[in-house]
Structure formats: C-alpha cells, structure tokens
C-alpha cells in the first residue's frame, strides 16, 4: 500500500506556506532568496507529483526548466546582494528604498 499523490501535494503546499511566511517576515535579502527557493521547490514537487499521477514526463521537463530559472534568479539575486553590500548600505529589504517614489 503506497501513499497517494495527495500526500505529496500536501507536503508541497506546506513547504510553499513556510516559504511564503519567510518571504513575508524576514528582512535579510539572503534569507528572502532562500525562502523563494523553498517556494520554487514546493512547486517543483507538485509538478513532479502530477507528472507521476498522469504517467507523462512533461511535468518533469517543466520542473527542470524551473530549476534553471531558479538558478538564474539566485545568480542575479546574490549579485544584487553583493553589490548592495559593496556600497556599504544596510542589508535590510525595508531600507532599500532608493527606487521608491
């Protein structure tokens, strides 16, 4: 007797919620990026679960593309964090208001 697909989806939803809570409450841009990673991976898990449920590999292809997008996002995000740190500015997302009107 195997656990059904709904359990995988539930775990994915819980992980997504945890990541969402992190994005909403944390202030360090580094932790924000980590939380976004959790959310992206939760989506990946849902994609792979449904791919298995439907017996079709397209969901896995999509998950691989999501992985590539996440890697790009991390590169640019960490580049921004390093650039902000170089300018001796506060690493605090509430204080990065230079582009706000």
Partner 1 sequence: MTYDIVFIVASVVAIAAALTVVLSGNPFISSLSLIANLIALATFYLLLQSDFLAAAQVIVYAGAVMIMFLFVTAYLGGRADEPTRERPVWQTLAALAAAAAVTAEIVFGVGRQSFLHGPVVSDAFGAPQAIAARFLGRYLLAFEGTSILLLIAAVGGVVLATRRPAPRGADEPGAFEVLRPEPVPSLQSSVMNLETRFDVVHTGAGPDDEKADG
User: Nearest Cα to 94, choosing from 18, 36, 24, 37?
Assistant: 24
User: With binding defined as CB under 8 A, does residue 101 bind partner 1?
Assistant: no
User: With binding defined as CB under 8 A, does residue 98 bind partner 1?
Assistant: yes
Measured at the alpha carbon of residue 93, what is the angle toward residues 89 and 94, in degrees to the nearest 5? 100
As a whole number of angstroms, the distance between CA 67 and CA 5 comes to 22
The single-letter DSSP state of residue 27 is: -
Tokens coding 7:
């359990």
User: With binding defined as CB under 8 A, does residue 86 bind partner 1?
Assistant: yes
Q: Give the nearest distance from C-beta 101 to partner 1 in angstroms.
A: 14
Q: Give the nearest distance from C-beta 70 to partner 1 in angstroms.
A: 7
User: With binding defined as CB under 8 A, does residue 3 bind partner 1?
Assistant: yes
Binding to partner 1 (CB under 8 A): which residues in 5-64? 5-22, 24-28, 30-31, 33-35, 37-38, 41, 44-45, 48-49, 51-55, 57-58, 60-61, 63-64
């Amino acid at each position: 007797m195997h656990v059904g697909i709904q359990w995988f989806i539930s775990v994915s939803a819980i992980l997504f919620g945890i990541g969402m809570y992190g994005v909403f409450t944390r202030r360090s841009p580094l932790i924000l990026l980590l939380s976004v990673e959790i959310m992206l991976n939760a989506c990946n898990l849902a994609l792979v679960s449904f791919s298995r449920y439907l017996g079709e590999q397209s969901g896995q292809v999509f998950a691989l593309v999501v992985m590539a997008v996440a890697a790009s996002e991390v590169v640019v995000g960490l580049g921004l964090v390093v650039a902000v740190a170089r300018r001796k500015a506060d690493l605090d997302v509430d204080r990065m208001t230079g582009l706000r009107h």
